[in-house]
Amino acid sequence: MVVAVRYGGHEEKGTSEELNMNTLLSLVAAITVAGMVVGCETPQRPPPPPPRAVRYPSQPLGMADVKMLAKSGITDEVIISQIRNSRTVYHLTAAEILDLKDAGVSEKVIDFMINTPSMYRSMRPPPPPPSY
């Protein structure tokens, strides 16, 4: 049986099977082209996360550094800030306290140095439990 199909001002004649096959092939071609167009697009990726702030450990501030700063006339507040920022923990002996005092380090700075172990104790992870 010959069938005539009209679409978009164009008339096509053929058997219904031929027309169905032509329609199917046109549909497959359209889907293939659409898939290629979509497949060629660059996928949208989310923007990368902002860089994390990196904390670099500061170098410890030794007793010689503290003595040098005090002898140079640096204020107690600046010396204490430097100790605090370096997170240096001091375990001063009586002889070291006297040495700092003789070098011109103020009692305020020496007192701050003496108290550094208690300031940073909570920042350390707890010790592991004893194993029996």
Mean pLDDT of 7-34: 63
- Residue 15 near residue 23, CB atoms below 8 Å: no
CA–CA distance, 112 with 43 (Å, rounded to integer): 58
The mean predicted confidence, pLDDT, of the chain is 78
Residue 19 lies in a domain: yes
CA–CA distance, 79 with 113 (Å, rounded to integer): 10
Residue 132 lies in a domain: no
Residue 83 lies in a domain: yes
Residue 25 lies in a domain: yes
Predicted pLDDT at 52: 72
* 67 and 28 inside one domain: no
Q: What is the pTM of this model?
A: 0.50
Which of 88, 90, 110 has the alpha carbon at shortest distance from 100? 110
Token pair in block for residue 130: 């004893």
Residue 26 has pLDDT above 80, yes or no: no
What band does 45 get if pLDDT is binned at 50, 70 and 90? confident
Mean pLDDT of 95-119: 95
- Pick from 4-18, 23-37, 43-57, 87-101: least confident: 4-18
Residue 40 lies in a domain: no
Residue 110 lies in a domain: yes
Which residue range(s) make up the domain with 7? 2-34
CA–CA distance, 45 with 96 (Å, rounded to integer): 60
Dihedrals phi, psi of 99, to nearest 5 degrees: -65, -45
Token pair in block for residue 21: 């096959």
Residue 82 lies in a domain: yes
Instruction: List pLDDT tens digits, range 58-99.
Output: 688 999 999 999 999 999 999 999 999 999 999 999 999 999
Query: Domains in the chain: how many in total?
Result: 2
Residue 129 lies in a domain: no
* 29 and 81 inside one domain: no
